[in-house]
Structure 1
Amino acid sequence: MSRIFKTLRPSQSQSTQEEKEESRTLLSDLPATRRKWLSDSRVNIPLAILITLLLGFLVWLSLSTTINARSHNTPSYTDCGKNYSTAVAAGCVFDVLATTWVPPECHNATLFNEYTSRLPKPLFYRWPNLTEPLSEDPKELVTHETIWSYGEFHTAHCLYLLQCGALAAAKVSAGHRNVLANNHATSLWHIAHCTKNVFNSMSYPENNTEIKNAARSSLFCKVLPE
């Protein structure tokens, strides 16, 4: 066995030497820069993988930071659900002017009290001829499919919600962040509906209106922050 091994060793050594010579020949035929890249491939490939992983990590970190910042800056509010039971369980406020439940975070109690204190009572009735007065308690109101109120109530309802939206917009314009408003106050459809209702219900007093400095000033646009 030892003789065979000794016989094979020179042949193996010769083969290795020929492979080295062939490798040198192949490299010598390539441009210098490519020869260097091939010769350093064992270093370049792991380095490229490392750089790719590092860039991927930085991109992920940037995206996650942006997402977390957005989620952190988005104010949370109560979900009232879709019916009486879920709204009561969530601790929502029954707004008699909106005749619906409102999350407490976007209920303007000051404005609400100002309007309701000036409306004649009772607000609601069982029948369209305004007979059989009803309580403002939502426990009673929820038992009726339809209830009725006087025409001025609809006007007050609209003015109240229009003012809620206007106050929210004014806060945003003044630089406040995370301003909350109920979705009726910010609905384009509801704004158009209520504007039309208020205009149609307007009465025109006999006394004249004085207007000063007409066409002598101008308004300007404001960009509202997101």
Structure 2
Amino acid sequence: MAPKRGSIRKPSFDDSDDGSGMTLLHEHVQDSLTTRRRGLRASSLPLKFFLGVVALICSVSVVYTAAGVRRLSSVATADYGDCGPNETVEEAREKGCLFDPMSWIWVRPECYDAELVAEFMNRTDFSWHTEPKLKPETKLGIDVVLRGDHPVLFTQKDYHNVHCFVRLLPALHVLAT
């Protein structure tokens, strides 16, 4: 029986064509897949390009940052040196370092702020002791403190607040200029 005009013929098992190239809506599978693939390829090209550029930028950023960090660490060591790997009093003095009672560390002369240390020491009434109880018999003179002979000394709790404030002063000075 011949199909009526305008009607869709249903595939049957008797046909020579097995219908594997047709969808349920009787579209040719190969044609629609080819069209979709072309559309996907065309639309993914800008995305692939964008992702490639982002990957390149990230790679360059990582390499640039790593090189910068390495350069900074080598410059800091070369320009300022150190005060000894163990930072003992003897090593520090041999290398020309000065004791900074504000940071409680040995620093290179170019890093030592004598005016700031003098202002701090003249404006405070802190006493320095060899024992945490702060007894009068354990008190040391300011000259002994400034020599840096003692790796650990004890003082009033308020020292911490003043110490933090005075350590911020150089940063504030840099920001103000």
Task: Indicate the TM-score class for this superposition, using the shorter chain for normalisation.
Answer: 0.3 to 0.5
In the superposition, the TM-score normalised over structure 1's length comes to: 0.37
